Amino acid sequence: MLYYLFTYLDKAYNIPGAGMFQFISFRAALSTIVSLFISLIYGKTIINYLSTKQIGETIRELGLEGQMAKTGTPTMGGLIILGAILIPTLLFAKVLNIYILLMLFVTIWLGLIGFLDDYIKVFKKNKEGLAGKFKIMGQIVAGLVLGSVLYFHPGVVIREQVPEKKVVVKPGALTPFEQVKDHNTKFRVNPVKSTKTTIPFLKNNEFDYAVLIKWIGHDYRKFAWLVFIPIVILIITAISNGANLTDGMDGLATGTSAIIAITLGLLAWVSGNIVFADYLNIMYIPNTGELVVFISALVGACVGFLWYNSYPAQVFMGDTGSLALGGIIAALALIIRKELLIPILCGIFIVENLSVVIQVAYFKYTKRKTGEGKRVFLMAPLHHHYQKKGYPEPKIVMRFMIIGIALALASIITLKIR
């Protein structure tokens, strides 16, 4: 909102400094600062309120060292994260940008689903929370809306190959129909609708989902949504659940999400800037640079929440935060056409997810074959396996985060290793 206000003041009254709001970097910095302020200052107030109302976590006995000492720790701390994301975004982002609107929807919708799950656990004293089928349905709705908008909305376009000329973009002129200048020559950036995405590590690194249904005939591109939208739903569901499963140790999901968010911020920056996209020879996606403001708020929210969520945690994010964080990360990757990087960038979430799938599948298989179920891991998700082996919780969290940093660096260097 402040973007529109200061743009008006700059044009109407030429107020000194008002033009700074034209720069994404300036608004992103403000977004980070305000997000940190909300999560650190008002976060403490919310934690005290949750403690006063005895909105604490009920811990199920799993035989883990120090586990029962966490009983009664305030939960639903994801409200801090959501507030620290939404308020700075509404203040500093171009809220009419289609990508910002999508991210606001995903954040609120999945946050609401997580809140219902936590509410049932805390106030209805039901340890199972919201039924799994309703969680999945909610994630499917999020993926359906996101996929449909990305496919059908006329404002969602890409520039497959940016001009080979070195261009100088005038401030604020990053919309797909804006003219940019190269010395005295004018030309127009021609946006196109596309279902292409980026393949890591390959030189000709673009893959079109439409080719998966090329067998149906000449007009196969008209039906590309039959492939694209289900893929979006699958990714949203998988990463949202992966973040939820990772949220089992103090600071683990929060720290990992912050690392992923910083990486996505960098990728969004270069994908939404015609000069950087040209230099790196990557897909230019107009208007995605605005996502940097949202991502800055996300990073600030995670770092600020980590202040209270690090070991020993003063508050848990609960499903209110974890489901939303996973969905946000998946949506950002899809919007900037970097979803094929998810197995690398979100490797922690993927492995945590797979460990549960493998554990359950193997247990059922061996029980059916031998009458006695066997396990691959001492306990799933994977972080509990190492906890069962005797590793201290802070060491497990720190090592997982180090791995997360390595995966983030590997994701960034895919920009040049092709």
Peptide bond into 394 cis (omega under 30): no
Please tell me the predicted confidence (pLDDT) of residue 415: 86
Q: What are φ and ψ of residue 171, in 5° steps?
A: -55, 130
Please tell me the predicted confidence (pLDDT) of residue 185: 40
Q: What is the pLDDT of residues 366-411, one digit of tens each?
A: 999 998 999 999 999 999 999 999 999 999 999 999 999 999 999 9
Residue 98 in this model has a pLDDT that exceeds 70: yes
Describe the crossing of helices 225-246 and 318-335 by its angle, rounded to 10 degrees.
140
Find the mean pLDDT for residues 183-208. 73
Find the mean pLDDT for residues 93-110. 97
**Rounded to whole angstroms, how far apart are CA atoms 374 and 364?**
8
Q: What is the pLDDT of residues 103-133, one digit of tens each?
A: 999 999 999 999 999 999 888 888 888 998 9
Residue 176 in this model has a pLDDT that exceeds 50: no
Q: What is the pLDDT of residues 330-378, one digit of tens each?
A: 999 999 999 999 999 999 999 999 999 999 999 999 999 998 999 999 9
**Rounded to whole angstroms, how far apart are CA atoms 215 and 219?**
10
Instruction: Report the predicted TM-score, pTM, of the whole model to 2 decimal places.
Output: 0.90
Quote the Cα angle for 256-87-116, to 5°.
Answer: 65
Residue 313 in this model has a pLDDT that exceeds 80: yes
Residue 182 in this model has a pLDDT that exceeds 50: no
Sign, CA torsion 212/213/219/222: negative
What do you get for the CA distance between the two ends of the chain, in Å? 40
